[in-house]
């Protein structure tokens, strides 16, 4: 196998999860030569604005995808929730490895439970999805925008006007944070995860058969089935970072259970539906159609028109 160059964002989390994936490959091919090329994306440069206001998911992958087209790198290791639902022609998701815990972590000062926060308490999140679901269940709370890496957000919880913050559990775990720091992991009934949350997507050129064969050895078929249902739903709903959209699938043998959710940012309108089946693409499309029939697409059109 030739020497491989991996493209990764420069953040500590991106570099850590890239190295963890490389270690999995080397467990299979111990003599494999791999180096990481750090790439600064537009999303990494914008730290003073909500991503939903400046372009959303593609901000973290476009520069990396260009490096693949230019053959400067052989593969990219993405957090799958950052990857738009449509992959450019000529590129492919070569594998979906094992999924980390997909839920969100609720971290509060003095570990006060979410349902015991006093009226007017401030929860920090930069996610419309998280904010909408929290406001839907706890309209007595306030959502305040927060950006930064894990360390930065934890520091802001301690030093700024936040009573709690919500982070992806996967990032905390990959960075080695102890469960002790987490007040609770929010289950799907409290906070439905982002599409692809906890999963990685390994992107490469579609014609790189040698690399695709290697990646197949660390591919998790069940996880791929689940995230395919989720990403099909995202594409069918024309979802973007301007829209509070969530979707989460689980699999038992070949039976997939998928729940899709569309909300308004203030949490006052909610469209949610669950279906079962064994075809992830059909499942994602079916849930999308049900929500459209219920009127959910009107939210998406309204929010996209506002941008």
- Give bridge partners of residue 250 from the DSSP assignment: 257
Specify the 3-state DSSP secondary structure of 254.
coil
The catalytically annotated residue of 74, 82, 163, 208 is: 82
> Starting at the edge strand that comes first in sequence, how are the strands of the sheet with 270-277 ordered?
245-252, 255-263, 270-277
Tell me how far apart the alpha carbons of residues 32 and 22 are, in angstroms, rounded to a whole number: 9
Residue entry with tokens 């969530």: 246
Residues 6+ apart with CB under 8 A from 248: 102, 188, 192, 193, 195, 197, 230, 258, 259
Burial (CB count within 10 angstroms: exposed 0-12, middle 13-18, buried 19+), residue 195: buried
Cβ atoms of 174 and 16 closer than 8 Å: yes
Residue 91, beta-bridge partner list: 205
Q: Taking the alpha carbons of 203, 206, 209, 212 in that order, is the dihedral positive or negative?
A: positive
Residue 180: exposure state from Cβ atoms within 10 A (0-12, 13-18, ≥19): exposed
Angle, helix 296-306 to helix 280-294, in steps of 10 degrees: 80
Helix (H) / strand (E) element for 24: namely: helix 12-28
Is-catalytic flag, 82? yes
Whether 177 and 165 have beta carbons less than 8 Å apart is answered as: no
Q: Residue 84, CB half-sphere, CA atoms under 13 Å: how many?
A: 16
Strands 122-124 and 164-168, sheet pairing: parallel
| Token pair 């520091």 in the structure block, residue | 155
- Among all residues, which ones are annotated catalytic? 82
């Amino acid at each position: 196998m030739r020497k491989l160059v991996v493209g990764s964002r420069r953040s500590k989390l991106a570099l850590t999860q890239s190295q963890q994936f490389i270690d999995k490959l080397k467990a299979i091919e111990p003599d494999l030569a791999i180096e990481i090329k750090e790439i600064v994306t537009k999303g990494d440069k914008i730290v003073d604005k909500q991503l939903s206001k400046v372009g959303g998911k593609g901000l973290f992958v476009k520069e990396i995808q260009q490096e693949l087209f230019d053959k400067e790198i052989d593969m990219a290791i993405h957090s799958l929730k950052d990857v738009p639902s449509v992959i450019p022609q000529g590129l492919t998701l070569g594998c979906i490895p094992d999924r980390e815990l997909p839920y969100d972590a609720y971290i509060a000062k003095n570990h006060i439970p979410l349902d015991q926060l006093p009226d007017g308490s401030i929860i920090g999140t930069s996610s419309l999805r998280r904010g909408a679901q929290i406001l839907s269940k706890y309209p007595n709370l306030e959502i305040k925008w927060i950006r930064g890496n894990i360390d930065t957000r934890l520091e802001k919880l301690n030093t700024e006007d936040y009573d709690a913050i919500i982070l992806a559990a996967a990032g905390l775990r990959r960075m080695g944070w102890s469960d002790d720091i987490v007040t609770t992991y929010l289950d799907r009934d409290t906070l439905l995860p982002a599409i692809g949350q906890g999963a990685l997507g390994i992107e490469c050129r579609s014609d790189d058969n040698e690399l695709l064969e290697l990646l197949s050895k660390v591919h998790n078929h069940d996880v791929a089935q689940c995230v395919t249902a989720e990403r099909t739903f995202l594409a069918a709903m024309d979802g973007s970072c301007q829209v509070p959209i969530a979707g989460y699938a689980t699999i038992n043998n070949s039976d997939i259970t998928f729940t899709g959710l569309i909300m308004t940012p203030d949490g006052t309108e909610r469209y949610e539906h669950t279906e079962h089946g064994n075809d992830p693409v059909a499942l994602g499309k079916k849930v999308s159609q049900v929500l459209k029939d219920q009127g959910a697409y009107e939210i998406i059109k309204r929010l996209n028109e506002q941008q």
